[in-house]
């Protein structure tokens, strides 16, 4: 990498900093040669089933990189600018692992990504093998941070935390009309199965009032969910608990409307499909559905300002994808600033000591526990109202009053 030019004033200022650093017993990184540009590698799905969500995450990364650079770059490294390199995982684990290796060969300082838990697990293994600091922006599987990885950190809440928050939220918003009978409908894939494997025992442990009268699954490439909806309707539940992707989520509510299948509420249990902008565009069909999901902090002025800029620039809503990816870059930039070097071990140690308060996602400050999970990671119970996701739980982040039970199909015009 090239050495950065410095003015006389900057040089003298640097000399002062060097003298101060030496007096404290150590030499700051600037005298070892600060890079002019710091490469950050990102692996995300830009093709495949979740390509749109992956692209929205990449936009969050790009926006944060721009903001860091406009604010003067990494000042402890002579104002070094961040540069983002993005590789497509194609929504495949093995492709994601190869993409991570390709980025590492390009001398990146840190990795981020990778959205799907299977891909993220594969990337984590590569990162640990190459001792490459890796900040996961989005991925939920608890297992990722249970592998003993030394260089992997995650800002997204894990499944257990998400579902615990979700159960509290569902019990809270339905307190005046508790759910007694519920049917579960979910896609037959890893994250959905893992979600409900946690949801069932956790509901019982937390004293949830509902009985799950039936668990219905459908294949990943299903072209219709008519028979599943018909089966559920016959059981006359108060509510549905679902986990589905965007295409399936749309099929589900279309079929419920077609069959005039009314329930008090449809609750997504960490259902990515219900957080997708294309689902939100279904109007009266998708309105009033709930979803347990991380989100951006709509009460926080900084997050609101970032959200406005994101939406003006990319013409897409600022949601959990853009927000957590944006925050991942803030975490990396903060660690680089404190480390003062791109040395992998120094950066890993700086990440371990993270305490980031200024961010866009809901929850407390970003701090990592011994496994690399974010202690402050938060989540909310969202409800679609007028085509927009509104936080209805917890109350400190709420942006709307809950509507429950939801209007019947015949009442929606």
* CA pseudo-torsion sign 349, 355, 358, 361: positive
Q: Helical H runs in 235-374? A: 246-258, 277-280, 301-314, 320-339, 344-352
pLDDT per residue rounded down to tens, the chain (413 residues): 333 333 434 433 433 333 333 333 343 444 455 569 999 999 999 998 789 889 999 999 999 999 999 999 999 999 999 999 999 999 999 999 999 999 999 999 999 999 988 899 999 999 999 999 999 999 998 999 999 999 999 999 999 999 999 999 999 999 999 999 999 999 998 778 889 999 999 999 999 999 999 999 999 889 999 999 999 999 999 999 999 988 999 999 999 999 999 999 999 998 988 988 889 999 999 999 999 888 889 889 999 999 999 999 999 989 889 999 999 999 999 999 999 999 999 999 999 999 999 999 999 999 999 999 999 998 889 999 999 889 999 988 899 999 999 999 999 87
Q: Distance (Å, rounded) from C-alpha 229 to C-alpha 217?
A: 11
- Cα 287 to chain centroid distance, Å, stands at 23
Residues 6+ apart with CB under 8 A from 137: 57, 60, 61, 112, 113, 115, 155, 156, 324, 325, 327, 328
- Tell me the CB-side half-sphere exposure of residue 305, using CA atoms within 13 A: 7
Residues 6+ apart with CB under 8 A from 331: 135, 153, 155, 351, 354, 356, 366
Q: Distance (Å, rounded) from C-alpha 278 to C-alpha 260?
A: 22
Q: Distance (Å, rounded) from C-alpha 149 to C-alpha 100?
A: 16
Residues 6+ apart with CB under 8 A from 321: 53, 54, 56, 57, 60, 115, 138
Burial 152-188 (b: 16+ CB within 10 A, else e): bbbbbbbbebbbbbbbbbbbebbeeeebeebbbbbbe
DSSP string for 108-158: -SEEEE--SHHHHHHHHHHHHHTT--EEESS---GGGGGS--SSEEE-SPP
Q: Under DSSP, is residue 259 helix (H, G, I), strand (E, B) or coil?
A: coil
Do 128 and 342 form a contact (C-beta atoms < 8 A)?
Answer: no
Query: Would strands 181-187 and 239-243 be described as parallel, antiparallel, or unpaired?
Result: parallel
pLDDT at position 35, please?
67
> Phi, psi at residue 211, to the nearest 5°?
-110, 130
* CA pseudo-torsion sign 187, 188, 193, 196: positive
DSSP string for 213-252: EEEEEE-TT-S--HHHHHHHHHT--SEEEEE--HHHHHHH
Do 251 and 228 form a contact (C-beta atoms < 8 A)?
Answer: no
Do 80 and 35 form a contact (C-beta atoms < 8 A)?
Answer: yes
pLDDT at position 107, please?
95
pLDDT at position 173, please?
96
Q: Residue 158, by phi and psi: left (phi above 0), alpha (psi -120 to 50) or beta?
A: beta
Residues 6+ apart with CB under 8 A from 89: 43, 44, 45, 46, 48, 54, 95, 96, 99, 113, 114, 115, 116, 119
Reported as type and span, the H/E element at residue 173 is helix 159-173
Reported as type and span, the H/E element at residue 186 is strand 181-187
pLDDT at position 194, please?
86
Residue 315 burial by Cβ neighbours in a 10 Å radius (0-12, 13-18, 19+): exposed
Q: Under DSSP, is residue 296 helix (H, G, I), strand (E, B) or coil?
A: strand
pLDDT at position 273, please?
87
407: which 2 tokens?
Answer: 């209007």
Q: Distance (Å, rounded) from C-alpha 266 to C-alpha 174?
A: 12
Q: Under DSSP, is residue 405 helix (H, G, I), strand (E, B) or coil?
A: coil
């Amino acid at each position: 990498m090239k050495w950065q030019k410095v003015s006389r004033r900057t040089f003298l200022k640097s000399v002062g900093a060097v003298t101060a650093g030496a007096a404290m017993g150590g030499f700051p990184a600037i005298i070892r040669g600060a890079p002019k540009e710091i490469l950050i590698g990102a692996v995300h799905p830009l093709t495949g089933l979740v390509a749109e969500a992956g692209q929205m995450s990449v936009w969050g990364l790009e926006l944060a990189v721009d903001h860091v650079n406009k604010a003067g770059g990494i000042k402890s490294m002579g104002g070094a600018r961040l540069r983002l390199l993005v590789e497509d995982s194609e929504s495949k684990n093995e492709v994601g692992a190869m993409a991570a290796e390709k980025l590492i060969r390009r001398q990146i300082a840190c990795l981020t990504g990778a959205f799907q838990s299977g891909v993220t697990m594969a990337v984590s293994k590569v990162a640990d093998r190459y001792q490459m600091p890796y900040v996961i922006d989005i991925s939920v599987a608890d297992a990722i941070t249970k592998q003993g990885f030394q260089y992997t950190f995650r800002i997204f809440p894990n499944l257990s935390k998400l579902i615990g928050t979700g159960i509290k939220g569902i019990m809270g918003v339905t307190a005046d009309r508790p759910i007694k009978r519920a049917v579960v409908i979910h896609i037959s894939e890893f994250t959905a199965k893992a979600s409900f494997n946690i949801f069932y025992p956790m509901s019982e442990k937390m004293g949830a009032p509902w009985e799950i009268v039936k668990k219905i699954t459908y294949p990943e490439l299903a072209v219709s969910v008519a028979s599943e909806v018909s089966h559920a309707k016959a059981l006359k539940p108060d509510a549905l608990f679902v986990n589905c992707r965007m295409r399936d989520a749309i099929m589900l509510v279309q079929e419920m409307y077609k069959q005039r299948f009314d329930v008090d509420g449809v609750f997504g249990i960490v259902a990515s499909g219900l957080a997708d902008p294309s689902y939100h565009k279904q109007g009266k069909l998708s309105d009033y559905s709930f979803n347990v999901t991380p989100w951006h902090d709509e009460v926080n002025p900084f997050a609101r300002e970032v959200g406005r800029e994101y939406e003006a620039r990319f013409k897409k809503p600022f949601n959990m994808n853009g927000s957590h990816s944006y925050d991942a870059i803030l975490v990396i930039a903060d660690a680089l600033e404190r480390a003062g070097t791109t040395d992998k071990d120094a950066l890993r140690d700086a990440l371990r000591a993270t305490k980031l308060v200024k961010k866009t996602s809901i929850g407390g400050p970003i701090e990592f526990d011994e496994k690399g999970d974010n202690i402050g990671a938060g989540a909310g119970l969202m409800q679609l109202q007028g085509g927009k996701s509104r936080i209805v739980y917890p109350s400190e982040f709420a942006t709307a009053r809950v509507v429950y039970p939801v209007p019947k199909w015949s009442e929606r015009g």
